A = this chain, B = another copy of it.
Amino acid sequence: MTQKLYLEDLKTGDVFKSGEYAITAEEIKAFAGRYDPQPFHLDEEAARDTFFQGLAASGWHTCAITMRLFVGSVPIAGGLIGAGSDVSWSQPTRPGDTLHVDSTILDITPSRSKPDRGIVTIQSDTINQRGELCQRAVSRVLAFKRG
């Protein structure tokens, strides 16, 4: 098992590379049917004449897959607990895409009020099999000091 990382183990510029996640049309439609029921996420035919010009994953589905890859690649002790995230979608995730996530620590700020912890700002780029950026998320994640 990967060694868990505490606040003292992290530094600005550290990079974490994830494994891969392949997304199918079926998964895109299943996620959208429950959480983002719009024609361009639900049906190839209906998607053709929309802004996306074909079936596209919900941006929130790309976020969810990014989290899955993030959990598998950034072993912060106590788990990945987010205070928030600023997400941009530069292009949609498509059926058949294989995604991976490159995460880079941008900043580390010790808490003033709680000396046992800090907030780590991490940029996670979600990239498809052609090397194209689908999503950039800059997230604020809790990290704890060694007990």
- Complex contact A86–B89 (CB within 8 A): no
Contact check: which of B51, B78, B81, B87 meets A87 at CB < 8 Å?
B87
The answer, yes or no, to whether A96 is at the interface (CB within 8 Å) is: no
The answer, yes or no, to whether A79 is at the interface (CB within 8 Å) is: yes
Interface of A: prevailing SS: mixed
- Complex contact B35–A65 (CB within 8 A): yes
Q: How far is the CB of A50 from chain B (nearest CB, A)?
A: 7
Contact check: which of B37, B52, B58, B79 meets A51 at CB < 8 Å?
B79
- Complex contact B35–A51 (CB within 8 A): no
In the complex, chain B residues whose CB is within 8 Å of the CB of A22:
none
**Chain B residue at minimum C-beta to C-beta distance from A36:** B67
A36 to B65 Cα, complex, angstroms:
8
A63 to B60 Cα, complex, angstroms:
7
In the complex, chain B residues whose CB is within 8 Å of the CB of A118:
none
- Complex contact B64–A60 (CB within 8 A): yes
Q: How far is the CB of A51 from chain B (nearest CB, A)?
A: 5
A interface with B by C-beta (< 8 Å): 31, 34-40, 50-52, 58-61, 63-65, 67-68, 71, 78-89, 142
Known A-B contacts: A59-B82, A63-B63, A84-B86. Give 13 more (CB < 8 A).
Answer: A35-B68, A36-B67, A36-B68, A36-B71, A38-B71, A51-B78, A51-B142, A83-B89, A84-B87, A84-B88, A85-B87, A86-B87, A87-B87
